Amino acid sequence: MARPKLIPLDRPELEPFPMSERLRSQLVYFQAATDAPDRPALGEGEYWFDRDEVAKWLDDGVIDLVSPLDTENTTEVELSEEQEDLLGWLHKNEVRRAKVG
């Protein structure tokens, strides 16, 4: 089975970012909200990342997760090494739109 990759749609000259299945399942943590400014309509398996949020997560080293069972409270979670690598790749290469392939 081939390892999933994040393919940059707005930077096609870049090599895709290889990731684990676990990180693939966590991409939803990092995608911009559906009402985010400038967010285009996305296709199946596509993600849009907000540059400011990506930079903030890298600086802070944590993300805030909202439980589907308790949407009024968030939990601060430290970034894993793989999550930090992904965010660093997005930030360094200014990738906003990508899809899993």
Query: Which of the four pLDDT bands, split at 50, 70 and 90, describes residue 46?
Result: very high
pLDDT in tens, 9-31: 999 999 999 999 999 999 999 99
pLDDT digits (tens, 9 = 90+) for 82-98: 999 999 999 999 999 99
Structure tokens given for 83: 């999550």
User: In which domain, by residue range, is 35 found?
Assistant: 5-100
What's the pTM value of the predicted model, to 2 decimals? Answer: 0.90
Domain count for the chain, please give it: 1
**pLDDT at residue 33, as a whole number:** 87
Q: Within the chain, how many helices (H) and strands (E) appear?
A: 3, 6
CB contact at 8 A, 30 and 100: no
Q: What percent of the chain has pLDDT over 70?
A: 99
